[in-house]
Amino acid sequence: MNKRIAILAGDGIGPEVITQAQLVLDAICAKFGHTFSYTEALVGAAAIDATGDPYPADTHEVCMQSDAVLFGAIGHPKYDNDPHAKVRPEQGLLRMRKALGLYANLRPVVSYPSLFDKSPLKNDRLVGVDFLVLRELISGIYFGEPRGRSENGEMAFDTCVYRKDEIDPMLHLAFESARKRKNKVTLVDKANVLATSRLWRERFQEIAPQYPDVTADTIFVDNAAMQLILNPAQFDVMVTGNLFGDILSDEGSVLAGSLGILPSASIGEHTSVFEPVHGSYPQATGQNRANPLAAILSAAMLLETAFGLTEEAALVRSAVEVAMSTNQVTEDLGGTLGTKEVGAFIVSQIS
């Protein structure tokens, strides 16, 4: 199979973890006789430094011309610590998602038995934890207008907007995903307070009966945040809006063992993007300390979701599980290996 992959490594630990994911893809190509051609493009703070724009037109063109995008992370402390900065790395990521029409972000969370001891939760809570956070990605409070500041600067506002035609595809995707998993969908919202959440609930009540074989449940987001710690195995597909999905997936990473192992896929109208859930982890930049497994598992999602290469994806995942069960992991999982060494171990398991 011949495919084109756009590489948007971004900032901080992005380039380090993406390099390892690419080496894993190369190993898959060598083993299965595929050819992937890579085109690197700028995004985030690196793109601002080079061009003044966190998502340059050239980068968008590369994404559009590719069969899949492998994305690292964006973000830099110089912007995190400057609330006045008008141009920000995060705008690059948000603009890419919007321009590619990536309305659904799939964030699987699994508690691997070999990592139970890495989670602060008691082991018995982690048995059977395997859920999918299905996060709406290009609407809600992240994109609603108007947004901004009052003229005197003493008031700021964001707007949360959801339309029926943005909600319905998410709900159908949730029910269809549940059919391939454990047949349960939980809508996470704040319908007791927010008008947008009430529209999600209304659409949920309309659509759920079309999937009589799937259990449909609703939960308020504050309770969901608690239930994720108290009894996480109850969840299968958690479908939710942009902001709640962002927060709950980071919370979910504690069940998995580390934010450094959570992958994601963003799908929609144009080229799909595969990216770790984590950010640019600036404290670890250039130190060979970052866990590359989230990026490597994102590459596995790319193989499966974008190219339909299920056997190849399964091989990557099983190599990752061997790394976990034999403690060939980075410090966040209690190991002693560096980013490169973990990548090399995965490659050695594949080759």
Q: Which of 235, 342, 214, 351 minimizes the C-alpha distance to 290?
A: 342
CB of 137 to ligand NAD, least distance (A): 11
Binding mask 314-333 for ligand NAD (x = CB under 6 A): ------------------x-
CB of 291 to ligand NAD, least distance (A): 3
- Please pick, from the candidates 53, 90, 130, 168, the single residue that binds ligand IPM as defined by CB under 6 A: 90
Q: Which uninterrupted H or E stretch holds 124?
A: helix 123-126
Q: Which residue is nearest to ligand IPM (CB)?
A: 90
222 tagged catalytic? yes
- Please pick, from the candidates 13, 17, 93, 214, the single residue that binds ligand IPM as defined by CB under 6 A: 93
CB of 193 to ligand IPM, least distance (A): 21
- Using CB under 6 A, which of the segments 86-94, 111-119, 198-206, 312-320 binds ligand IPM? 86-94
Is there a contact between 243 and 196 (Cβ–Cβ < 8 Å)?
A: no
Is there a contact between 185 and 216 (Cβ–Cβ < 8 Å)?
A: yes
As a dihedral over the C-alpha atoms of residue 244, residue 103, residue 311, residue 327, rounded to 10 degrees, the angle is -30
Q: Report the residue number, 21 or 27, with the smaller CB distance to ligand IPM.
A: 21
Q: Report the residue number, 75 or 335, with the smaller CB distance to ligand IPM.
A: 75
Q: Which of 3, 118, 184, 190 is catalytic?
A: 190
109 binds ligand NAD (CB under 6 A): no
Q: Which of 7, 11, 90 minimizes the C-alpha distance to 302?
A: 7
Strand partners, 39: 6
49 tagged catalytic? no
80 binds ligand NAD (CB under 6 A): yes
Strand partners, 148: 157
Q: Report the residue number, 69 or 347, with the smaller CB distance to ligand IPM.
A: 69
SS3 category, 319: helix
As a dihedral over the C-alpha atoms of residue 112, residue 114, residue 117, residue 118, rounded to 10 degrees, the angle is -70
259 binds ligand NAD (CB under 6 A): yes
Q: What angle do CA 239, 241, 247 make, to 5 degrees?
A: 90
Q: Which uninterrupted H or E stretch holds 9?
A: strand 2-10
Q: Which of 14, 20, 16, 32 minimizes the C-alpha distance to 307?
A: 32
- Please pick, from the candidates 166, 236, 246, 304, the single residue that binds ligand IPM as defined by CB under 6 A: 246
Q: Which of 349, 272, 276 minimizes the C-alpha distance to 308?
A: 272
Cα separation, 211 vs 74, whole angstroms: 38
190 tagged catalytic? yes
- Please pick, from the candidates 42, 219, 228, 294, the single residue that binds ligand NAD as defined by CB under 6 A: 294
CB of 331 to ligand IPM, least distance (A): 22
263 binds ligand NAD (CB under 6 A): no
Q: Choose among Mn ion, ligand NAD, ligand IPM, none what residue 188 binds, the Cβ cut-off being 5 to 8 Å by kind.
A: none
Cα separation, 251 vs 270, whole angstroms: 29
| Tokens at 316, concatenated | 């990557």
142 tagged catalytic? yes
- Using CB under 6 A, which of the segments 123-131, 139-147, 257-265, 343-351 binds ligand NAD? 257-265
- Catalytically active residues are 142, 190, 222, 246, 250
